[in-house]
């Protein structure tokens, strides 16, 4: 089973969202920054590292919002969804294209992979952190 760390980066009621590229598994689906755990890092470290590598943003992990085990055609995954925020001094404008800041109430209009359903519902009913 693959262990995955994912960053739910919230800032002023918006979240960092991308579209999975052609050639990737689940191409065309929306996604939060994340990827495979590289031992010996923890999944919060994975989430922070993948976010920096993929989006250019330096974030810190605040808490584990949800853990989801899911079986795709391409294999079984364990997804750790970490609620994250920008580190002090990190400008939201540093976000690299094609990643975007999407307002929480617009997340519903994106097609995320099925394993994201529960955490998306948690985000929908959660209170903004700032």
Ligand X SMILES: Nc1nc2c([nH]c(=O)n2[C@@H]2O[C@H](COP(=O)(O)OP(=O)(O)OP(=O)(O)O)[C@@H](O)[C@H]2O)c(=O)[nH]1
5 binds ligand X (CB under 6 A): no
Whose Cβ is closer to ligand X: residue 89's or residue 100's?
100
Among 64, 102, 113, 122, binds ligand X (CB under 6 A): 113
4 binds ligand X (CB under 6 A): yes
Q: Is 53 exposed, middle or buried (0-12, 13-18, 19+ CB in 10 A)?
A: exposed
Which residues, 38 to 97, sit near ligand X by CB under 6 A? 72, 77, 79
> Nearest 5°: phi and psi at 11?
-150, 120
For the chain, how many residues are written? 130
116 binds ligand X (CB under 6 A): yes
26 binds ligand X (CB under 6 A): yes
Which residue from 122, 34, 48 is spatially nearest to 78, judged by alpha carbons? 34
């Amino acid at each position: 089973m693959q262990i995955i760390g994912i960053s739910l980066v919230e800032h002023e009621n918006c979240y960092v969202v991308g579209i999975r590229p052609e050639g990737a598994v689940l191409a065309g689906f929306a996604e939060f920054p994340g990827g495979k755990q590289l031992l010996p890092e923890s999944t919060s470290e994975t989430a922070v590292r993948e976010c920096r590598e993929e989006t250019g943003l330096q974030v810190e992990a605040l808490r584990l919002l949800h853990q989801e085990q899911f079986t795709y055609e391409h294999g079984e995954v364990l997804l750790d969804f970490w609620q994250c925020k920008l580190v002090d001094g990190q400008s939201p404008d540093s976000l690299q294209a094609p990643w975007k800041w999407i307002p929480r109430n617009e997340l519903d209009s994106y097609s995320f992979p099925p394993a994201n359903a529960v955490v998306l519902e948690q985000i929908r009913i959660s209170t903004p952190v700032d």
